[in-house]
Every structure is written in structure tokens, then in C-alpha cells.
């Protein structure tokens, strides 16, 4: 483990002293660990014809967690020192005054790895990155006279984590992550519209950008902006909706993903908590959450509690099969962790979270779906979404969509919000396509103030009824 951080190297705290404090604090607790993290990240931004920002961040800290029954005590600090860890230990002990549990030493092991131990930031020089950003700017501005603004940026990160459990068992992971984004704004006849596209994942910048591949990212951003420049007001009301493959799987993420996270179901605050084993989607709909796809943005070798990730079947042929679990919620619900325990960084507690959430292929074609719609919309690209897991209502925001009239794709329509009901929307899916696609690898999911990288995938689908939030009555 050459590039693994040595967290105790410059500290007055030795590893064995740390292990003693951990074991002493967690004795009689049901679970807990010391989580150490060292992350290095960079951002290089071109905007308005200039390199606007080149910044580098180095973040180091620990989070110490003790769990007794349902109660979690957590303490974090940036200072990896004897004093600081002892202070944290005191904080945890003072919360969990009279614990009498038995520490669960069991944690599954796996040798599988889903990405390489690399530091993407160092694999490409600053000058090379600046050169590509300038090329992006020139390429786009020479392509279309209506371009009034180009923004492009590189985001790179290497995060090293170490989890030390009571008794000294140690689990480690080094996680690379990159993103490359392009945004363009067009102006024509006084009207302005934007288009955004990006790519990313857990590999080097060059894996995504070699052979002038950045040009296809530019072309896609420009294409979306051009379509929007011709868009007319979106309709308002309930209608049929065809979703394209890939990114539109944000629907799956919002409509059912969050509602199937273990914490909300243990607390019975999710609209899905009493639906296990029941039909929650049309026949032919299968949804998995998979942390094991090589190099994907949402993939993890181990989760932030040290559990190897897996492919979790959430809904199989319409039937609700599993929730996503971290160790705490799994123990309280008498099941096992699905390797879904995640945190944004050491400042935050672990929560059950999604990884790559995917609806699997059916056997129909997108053409058949469009033909089946008299009046509706065809949504191709999305900006984001949100859900109220208790009422089950969710939204997502179209960034590229078209009207469908009499089985044919018509004019582009302005960005609009679509709203639906999570527990019932998947029963309205009447066709599932055979064209499953992963998203381009730029998604971030927010929950309880914590953002984590995730992925989504789906084939084209036809939904019988959804409310489209346009302005045209």
C-alpha cells in the first residue's frame, strides 16, 4: 500500500495507543469504529474566456463513533493527536453512560477491488489541464456564433480512508474520482438558454478525455443548449411520459431509491416501510443498487464502515425484495449490511445510501413507446430531483424534453418539473426498453446535508401518467 496515508506518522499518537483508546471506548458498545480520512482534491475552472480558478484542497481528520442499541455518539476533529482522540473518547463515553452491549466483531471480507489505487490529480500536469480547458473554449466559440458563455472545469480527488475497529482490525481503501464538465450559454434574438454536460468516474482524466474525447462532451452541451433555444412553453397537467435511457433514471433514484434506504424504514417514516414482499412496480420492472461496477462514480470497494459493497436487488419483477442497509440499521432490523453505509467525509455520521441505482432491461423499443402516446412528453435529460420520503412525492427537473403528438416527437419544450408519487409511479410503467444505459458519471446525491457521488442507469420507459409542471394550460 505505497500511497496509503500513514495517519500516525506526524502525530504524537501511535497506532497501538489509538487502538487501545478505541478498544477501551467501544468495550460494551454494540458497534463503532475510528474512521480516518485524508483527501486531496483540485478544481480548475475556465469561465468567461479565462482560467478563473485553480485551487487545491487537502483535508485530514477523524470521526470516532460508538453505538449502543439505537443511540449513536459521534465526535470528529482535524487534529490527529493523543489529546484530541482522548477528548473524543470522553465525549462518546459521556453520551453512552451505562452501556451493556456486546461488540460485534464480525465484518465480511472480500479481495475484489473496483478501481485502481491512483491519484488522478498527479497523473496530468496543470499545464495540460489548462491547455485542454482553453481548447474547449476555442472549439466551442468557433463552432457557433450564438455562444455567449463557456464554462469548463476539472475536478479531481483522491481519498484515502482507514477504519480501525475495536480489537485493532483495520480496513483501508484509496478512492480516485474525477469529473469534467462543460456548460455553454447561447443567446439568439434576445433569448438565452444553457446546456450542460459532463463525464466522470473513478479513473484518470485521460481515461475519459483521450483522443480529443472532450469534443464529444462539448458537442453534447452545445446540442442541449441549441435544442432549448427553440423550445416552447411546456404543458401543464397529467399526461403520458416517455423517459430516455441513462440520466433520466434520476426518477428511480428519487421515486423509490431514497424510500428504500434502511434508516427511513426502520423508523417507519418511509412510504415503503410496510410494503416488503409486495408488488410496488409493474411486472418486468427490476431495480438493483450496485456498488461493484468497475470504475463507476457510485462504486466502492468497501463502504465507509468497511463492509465490501455488493449488488443489492431492491425490486425484482415488480416485487419489493430488499432495503439498502448500513450496520446500525441492519442490526436493528435483524438483517445484514448491504455495504451501503456511506458518509460525505469524516465530519459526518454514516447513513444507508445509494451507490449505482439501476433499472434493468426489458424487451421493448423506444420507438414502440413514442408510437403508443397520443399526447405526452419525451424527456431526455435531467438536471436533478428531490423527494419527500414520507408522503412519497418526488420531483425531477427536465433539461431537455419534447412534446409527443399522435405517436411522433414534436417541438422541444422548456425545462419543467415533473411530479409523481413514489410508491405508485412504478405501477404506471407500461413499457420497459431494451436500451439500458449508464449515466455519464457526474451525479451527487444529497441526504441530511451530506453529498456523496452516485450513479444511475435505466432503459427507456413509458409511464402512463405523470404531472408535468409547465405553464401552458
> 392-411: which residues touch other proteins (CB under 8 A)?
393-397
Nearer to other proteins, 324 or 416 (CB): 416
Rounded Cα distance, 299 and 352, in Å: 14
H-helix or E-strand spanning residue 188: strand 170-188
- Bridge partners of 324? 261
Rounded Cα distance, 462 and 471, in Å: 23
Rounded Cα distance, 64 and 349, in Å: 9
Contacting residue, 48, 116, 169, 294, with other proteins by CB under 8 A:
48
Q: Give the nearest distance from C-beta 6 to other proteins in angstroms.
A: 13
Rounded Cα distance, 128 and 134, in Å: 10
In the DSSP assignment, the letter for residue 427 is G
Nearer to other proteins, 87 or 104 (CB): 87
420 makes contact with other proteins (CB under 8 A): yes
Q: Give the nearest distance from C-beta 310 to other proteins in angstroms.
A: 27
55 makes contact with other proteins (CB under 8 A): yes
Only one of the segments 46-54, 155-163, 214-222, 360-368 lies at the binding site for other proteins (rule: CB under 8 A); that segment is: 46-54
C-alpha cell at 20: 487501545
Report the largest interatomic distance among the alpha carbons of the chain, rounded to a whole angstrom.
73
Under rule CB under 8 A, which residues in 76-95 are in contact with other proteins?
A: 76-79, 84, 88, 91, 94-95
- Bridge partners of 239? 466
390 makes contact with other proteins (CB under 8 A): yes
Contacting residue, 30, 32, 36, 75, with other proteins by CB under 8 A:
75
Contacting residue, 349, 351, 401, 429, with other proteins by CB under 8 A:
349
- Bridge partners of 432? 461
Beta strands 147-165 and 393-405 are unpaired
Spatial contact of 379 and 241, defined as CB atoms under 8 Å apart: yes
138 makes contact with other proteins (CB under 8 A): no
119 makes contact with other proteins (CB under 8 A): no
Q: Give the nearest distance from C-beta 416 to other proteins in angstroms.
A: 5
Contacts of 454 (CB under 8 A, 6+ apart): 253, 297, 298, 353, 354, 355, 356, 357, 443, 444, 445
Spatial contact of 400 and 226, defined as CB atoms under 8 Å apart: no
Under rule CB under 8 A, which residues in 157-186 are in contact with other proteins?
A: 185
391 makes contact with other proteins (CB under 8 A): yes
Contacting residue, 4, 28, 60, 450, with other proteins by CB under 8 A:
60
386 makes contact with other proteins (CB under 8 A): yes
Burial 23-47 (b: 16+ CB within 10 A, else e): eebbeebbbbbbbbbbbbbbebbbb
Nearer to other proteins, 61 or 298 (CB): 61
SS3 content of the chain, % helix, strand, coil (to 5): 25, 40, 35
Rounded Cα distance, 129 and 241, in Å: 40
Q: Give the nearest distance from C-beta 433 to other proteins in angstroms.
A: 25
Nearer to other proteins, 37 or 220 (CB): 37
C-alpha cell at 128: 495540460
Q: Give the nearest distance from C-beta 435 to other proteins in angstroms.
A: 27
Nearer to other proteins, 45 or 409 (CB): 45
Residue 48's CB is within 10 A of a number of other CB atoms, namely 10
Under rule CB under 8 A, which residues in 429-468 are in contact with other proteins?
A: 467-468
The DSSP result for 247-296, as a single string, is GGGHHHIIIIIGGGBHHHHHTT-STTTT-TTSB-S-TT--EEEES-STT-
Under rule CB under 8 A, which residues in 228-267 are in contact with other proteins?
A: 234, 236-238, 267
Contacting residue, 6, 14, 20, 70, with other proteins by CB under 8 A:
70
Only one of the segments 18-26, 165-173, 417-425, 455-463 lies at the binding site for other proteins (rule: CB under 8 A); that segment is: 417-425
Nearer to other proteins, 193 or 289 (CB): 193
Cα torsion angle, 335, 336, 338, 344, sign: positive
Question: What mask of x and - would describe binding to other proteins in positions 274 to 313, judged by CB under 8 A?
Answer: ----------------------------------------
Contacting residue, 14, 102, 269, 363, with other proteins by CB under 8 A:
269
Q: Give the nearest distance from C-beta 210 to other proteins in angstroms.
A: 22
193 makes contact with other proteins (CB under 8 A): yes
Alpha helices (H) in 67-125, listed in sequence order: 82-95
Q: Give the nearest distance from C-beta 60 to other proteins in angstroms.
A: 4
Nearer to other proteins, 16 or 55 (CB): 55
Q: How many residues bind other proteins (CB under 8 A)?
A: 79
Nearer to other proteins, 26 or 73 (CB): 73
Amino acid at each position: 500500500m505505497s500511497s496509503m496515508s500513514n495517519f500516525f506518522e506526524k502525530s504524537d499518537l501511535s497506532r497501538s495507543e489509538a487502538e487501545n483508546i478505541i478498544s477501551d471506548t467501544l468495550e460494551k458498545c454494540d458497534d463503532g469504529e475510528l474512521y480516518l480520512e485524508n483527501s486531496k482534491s483540485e478544481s480548475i475552472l475556465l469561465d468567461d474566456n479565462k482560467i478563473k480558478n485553480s485551487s487545491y484542497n487537502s483535508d485530514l481528520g477523524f470521526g470516532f463513533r460508538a453505538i449502543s442499541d439505537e443511540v449513536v455518539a459521534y465526535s470528529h476533529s482535524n487534529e490527529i493527536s493523543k489529546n484530541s482522540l482522548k477528548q473524543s473518547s470522553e465525549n462518546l463515553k459521556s453520551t453512552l453512560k451505562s452501556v451493556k452491549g456486546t461488540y460485534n466483531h464480525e465484518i465480511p471480507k472480500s479481495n475484489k477491488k473496483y478501481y485502481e489505487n491512483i491519484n488522478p490529480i498527479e497523473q496530468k500536469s496543470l499545464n495540460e489541464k489548462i491547455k485542454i480547458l482553453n481548447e474547449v473554449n476555442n472549439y466551442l466559440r468557433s463552432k457557433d456564433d450564438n455562444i455567449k458563455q463557456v464554462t469548463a472545469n476539472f475536478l479531481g480527488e483522491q481519498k484515502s480512508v482507514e477504519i480501525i475497529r475495536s480489537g485493532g482490525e483495520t480496513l483501508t481503501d484509496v478512492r480516485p474520482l474525477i469529473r469534467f464538465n462543460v456548460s455553454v450559454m447561447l443567446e439568439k434574438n434576445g433569448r438565452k438558454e444553457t446546456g450542460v454536460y459532463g463525464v466522470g468516474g473513478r479513473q484518470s482524466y485521460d481515461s475519459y478525455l483521450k483522443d480529443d474525447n472532450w469534443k464529444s462532451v462539448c458537442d453534447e452541451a452545445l446540442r442541449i443548449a441549441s435544442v432549448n433555444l427553440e423550445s416552447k412553453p411546456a404543458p401543464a397537467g397529467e399526461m403520458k411520459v416517455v423517459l430516455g435511457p441513462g440520466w433520466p433514471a434520476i426518477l428511480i433514484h428519487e421515486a423509490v431509491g431514497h424510500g428504500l434506504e434502511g434508516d427511513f424504514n426502520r423508523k417507519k417514516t418511509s412510504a415503503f416501510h410496510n410494503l416488503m414482499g409486495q408488488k410496488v412496480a409493474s411486472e418486468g420492472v427490476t431495480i438493483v443498487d450496485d456498488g461493484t461496477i468497475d470504475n463507476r462514480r457510485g462504486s466502492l470497494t468497501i463502504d465507509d464502515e468497511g463492509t465490501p459493497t455488493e449488488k443489492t436487488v431492491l425490486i425484482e419483477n415488480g416485487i419489493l425484495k430488499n432495503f439498502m442497509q448500513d450496520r446500525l440499521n441492519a442490526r436493528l432490523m435483524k438483517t445484514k449490511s448491504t455495504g451501503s453505509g456511506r458518509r460525505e467525509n469524516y465530519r459526518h455520521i454514516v447513513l444507508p445510501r445509494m451507490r449505482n441505482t439501476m433499472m434493468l432491461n426489458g424487451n421493448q423499443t423506444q420507438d414502440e413507446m413514442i408510437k403508443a402516446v397520443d399526447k405526452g412528453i419525451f424527456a431526455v435529460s435531467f438536471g436533478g430531483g428531490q423527494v419527500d420520503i414520507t408522503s412519497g412525492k418526488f420531483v425531477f427537473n427536465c433539461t431537455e424534453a419534447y412534446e409527443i403528438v399522435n405517436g411522433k416527437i414534436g417541438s422541444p419544450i422548456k425545462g419543467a418539473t415533473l411530479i409523481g408519487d413514489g410508491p405508485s409511479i412504478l405501477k404506471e410503467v407500461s413499457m420497459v426498453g431494451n436500451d439500458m444505459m449508464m449515466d455519464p458519471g457526474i451525479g451527487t446525491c444529497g441526504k441530511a446535508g451530506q453529498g456523496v457521488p452516485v450513479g444511475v442507469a435505466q432503459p427507456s420507459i413509458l409511464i402512463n401518467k405523470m404531472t408535468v409542471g409547465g405553464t401552458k394550460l
